[in-house]
Amino acid sequence: GSILLRTSDVAFPGAVDAAQLYQQSCAKAGIKIEIKREPGDGYWSEVWNKQPFSLSYWGGRPTQGQMYSTGYLSTADWNDTRFKRPEFDKMLYAARAELDQARRKA
């Protein structure tokens, strides 16, 4: 069978093209990707973070801590990968609480 990948023009500029490139890359590994182009209206409320596999774009965040807290913390609302690791959460909280700049950069 194939894996359904949902995308939309509103996901990010070039999202539909990116889905097609991903599809082509997966095909080389024998993985069949079916692309469903969703309408822009409702993509963020009905598709992204609700359907099993959809495209989104994570632009830069001011700090790594903010990026990890927004997208990978077990309790994050925008954890669209459903990544949940208590040990990661614990390390993230510890890193965010670290005040020593030398240790933060390490």
- Residue extents of the structural domains in the chain: 3-47, 64-105
CA distances from 44 to 10, 12, 68, 96 (A): 9, 11, 20, 29
Q: What are phi and psi of 36, to 5 degrees?
A: -115, 115
Q: Residue 61's pLDDT is what?
A: 81
Q: Determine the residue type at 48.
A: W
Q: What is the pLDDT tens value at each position of the chain, 106 positions in all? A: 999 999 999 999 999 999 999 999 999 999 999 999 999 999 999 999 999 999 998 877 888 888 899 989 999 998 988 999 999 999 999 998 999 989 887 7
pTM for the whole structure: 0.76
Tell me, what's the pLDDT at 64? Answer: 83
How high is the pLDDT of residue 90? 96
